[in-house]
Structure 1
Amino acid sequence: MKLGVFSVLFGQKPFEEALDYIASKGLDAVELGTGGYPGNAHCNPDVLLADESKLKAFKKAVESRGLFISALSCHANPLHPQKAISKEHQEIILKTIELAEKLEVPVVNTFSGCPGDHEDAKYPNWPVAPWPPDFQEILDWQWSNKVIPYWTETGKFAAARNVKIGLELHGGFSVHTPATLLRLREAAGEVIGANLDPSHMWWQGIDPVQAVQVLGRAGAIHHFHAKDTTIDPINVNKHGLTDMQPYTAMLDRAWQFRTVGFGHDLKTWADILSALRLVGYDYVVSIEHEDGLMSIDEGFTKAVQNLQQVLIKEPLGEMWWV
């Protein structure tokens, strides 16, 4: 496995300065934001697709530092019921897929999106209860009319360019669990897989090791994020896991994101990485830092230090003892 970072963390730095900093920490890979919610501070598809010389210089800047690009990420809501928003997000995803082909990057990460509850809705509707039956009707309409048709077509567009789609399983979007990812993959094809982030499994009550097993056995893990979560044992009994308080209300929230090792111990992370190896995932573990208790530098540095202790780096050898 290789260690990388989602570089939007360093969007305040110039691109090459950020690369120098990442390389100085001994990392192997960078995941670059190309638009949508993460922004495109370091990687603007419009600029790079329009100028071959800039594209080559961009690629050289990464490779000259001993790094490679693990994924391009444009987390967005391409199914947003407001047409102006969905159109913009769909265009970002298509441009990112085209750029991934040009840069020979195998994965584009994004969200599945979440539609409204009817054709003229203004806001996304995320049904998560089977009763009253209205919610089931909304869910069936969303998947039949929006989720499956969109990702079937976009999946074909990506597959034709030898690019895989890594959907991040995230609350608030149609694909948010291993089961919903596999449902879409069955309908839209194997080009669809997960950008699996354990932090979003924990707050949904899902064991990431088991999520790895479920998705990995289906060959459905295209990329992996390293981010931790801590659940407050008192606040969770007040607000539940679907706590709607803002992330800034850290003292009162039921759960919050932490840097690797500060929500769960390294044995837990060793179990997750071992499960990844067991199911055949041998690609990049990409650090995502969203810890409100640590600075960017400290949170990132501690994540690197902790993961370097448990990352399985060398290729498998023969079982000499059997």
Structure 2
Amino acid sequence: MKLGLLTAALGQMNLEQIAAWAPQAGYQALEVAAWPVGSDHIHQAAHLDVAGFTADDADRVRELMGSHGLAISAVTYCGNNLHGDPAERDRIHRHLRACIDAASALGVRHVTTFIGRDIGLPVADNFKLAEEHLPPLVRYAADRGVKLLAENCPMEGWHPDGYPANLAYSPELWDWMADLGFGLAYDPSHLPWLGIDPIEALEHALHAGIVGHVQAKDIQIDERARSRYGVFGKTVGRASTTDVGWWRYRIPGRGQLDWNRIIDILYSAGYSGDVAIEHEDPVWGGTLDKTLQGLQIAAHTLRRLIVASPNTQ
């Protein structure tokens, strides 16, 4: 097991700069963000330009990682694979296939994405849509030695009323998407505000053999504020989709998840993948310097829990 970081929060740095900085902070792996070039969301970086990714590009990236003693744990592009606009859905699928091609060229086993949802349709109709459009993507990946993983983020920001818009947010849905051929990119931070025990959910997923990657993000919950706003969060005066009023994401060590137990359960189950910090903490964000400081705090929290392999530099 290696400690890594998802590069999406470091859009102001290029992959070369991240690879040089990460080992100094205690990281051994990168989960590389590969959104389309030009994506302007703060957590949608393009550290791999997968469009037209060549053998020479793969050689360059492998050499860069090797020179800093880093592995790539996954290539990540979390688009809405069930988007309601067929043309947009096709564009998302084309880019996801390019991510799969790049991962295959790099010898990376996993591509992390979302299931998504057509928010104009009931969930039952989305199941039918998924069963039609997603298995070909799974087969495309498998033919190239890659496994597609769906992260369990609810993506409530994609829904106009803040309801889940990524049909991968609960263990029930993990079983369904596993039947479609997807593995799970497990992120415990999304579960407590939904009323799901992250420990029980992790044990279920490990027993089912579907955990391919782990993202480490924490959560801070204000239960008194929840009593005012309800589980779906603030309605009047909401400043943004993430302004829910009673919970917020934090870096590991600044929230309330039991990382000692989570990591121990992973070891107990024989999990051999990586754990990548995902930084969406508003306290340790806003500027590049604060984001890097937040990643240092997260590394300090988890580094002592993850045993370095004998050949780790």
Give the TM interval when normalised to the shorter protein. Answer: 0.7 to 0.9
Matches within 5 A, 1:204-219: 204-219=194-209
Tell whether the 8 Å contact from 2:152 to 2:190 is kept in structure 1 after alignment.
yes
2:231 aligned with 1:254: no
Q: CA RMSD in A?
A: 1.9
Deviation for aligned residue 1:284:
0.5
Q: Which one-letter code corresponds to 1:10 in the other structure?
A: L
Q: How many residues align?
A: 287
Deviation for aligned residue 1:218:
0.8
Indicate how the Cα distance of structure 1 residues 206 and 290 shifts in structure 2: closer, same or farther if over 3 A, else same. Answer: same
Tell whether the 8 Å contact from 1:147 to 1:174 is kept in structure 2 after alignment.
no
Deviation for aligned residue 1:249:
7.2
Indicate how the Cα distance of structure 1 residues 21 and 248 shifts in structure 2: closer, same or farther if over 3 A, else same. Answer: farther
Matches within 5 A, 1:83-232: 83-118=86-121, 138-144=122-128, 146-171=129-154, 172-186=165-179, 188-189=180-181, 192-232=182-222
**Separation in 2, partners of 1:147, 1:62:** 35
Deviation for aligned residue 1:313:
4.0
Deviation for aligned residue 1:139:
2.1
Q: Secondary structure of 1:96's match? A: helix
**Separation in 1, partners of 2:69, 2:273:** 16
**Separation in 1, partners of 2:168, 2:225:** 27
Deviation for aligned residue 1:14:
2.6
Deviation for aligned residue 1:280:
2.3
Tell whether the 8 Å contact from 1:232 to 1:254 is kept in structure 2 after alignment.
yes
**Separation in 2, partners of 1:211, 1:247:** 29
Q: Deviations over 1:218-247 (max 9, x none)?
A: 110011000000111221112223225456
2:37 aligned with 1:45: no
Q: Which has the higher contact order (CA 8 A, sep 6+)?
A: 2
**Separation in 1, partners of 2:249, 2:239:** 12
**Separation in 2, partners of 1:140, 1:16:** 44
Q: Which one-letter code corresponds to 1:106 in the other structure?
A: R
Q: Deviations over 1:268-302 (max 9, x none)?
A: 11111111122221211100111101120221111
**Separation in 1, partners of 2:206, 2:95:** 28
Tell whether the 8 Å contact from 1:59 to 1:103 is kept in structure 2 after alignment.
yes
Q: Which runs of 5+ in 2 are unaligned?
A: 155-164, 285-289
**Separation in 2, partners of 1:241, 1:314:** 42
Tell whether the 8 Å contact from 2:184 to 2:212 is kept in structure 1 after alignment.
yes
The match for 1:263 is: 255
Q: Secondary structure of 2:249's match? A: strand
Tell whether the 8 Å contact from 2:249 to 2:281 is kept in structure 1 after alignment.
yes
Q: Which runs of 5+ in 1 are unaligned?
A: 119-137, 316-322
2:91 aligned with 1:82: no
The match for 2:25 is: 25
The match for 1:276 is: 266
Q: Secondary structure of 1:93's match? A: helix
Deviation for aligned residue 1:152:
1.4
**Separation in 2, partners of 1:147, 1:277:** 33
Q: Secondary structure of 2:83's match? A: coil
**Separation in 2, partners of 1:151, 1:14:** 31
| Alignment TM-score, normalising by the size of structure 2 | 0.86
Q: Deviations over 1:59-79 (max 9, x none)?
A: 211111100100000001021
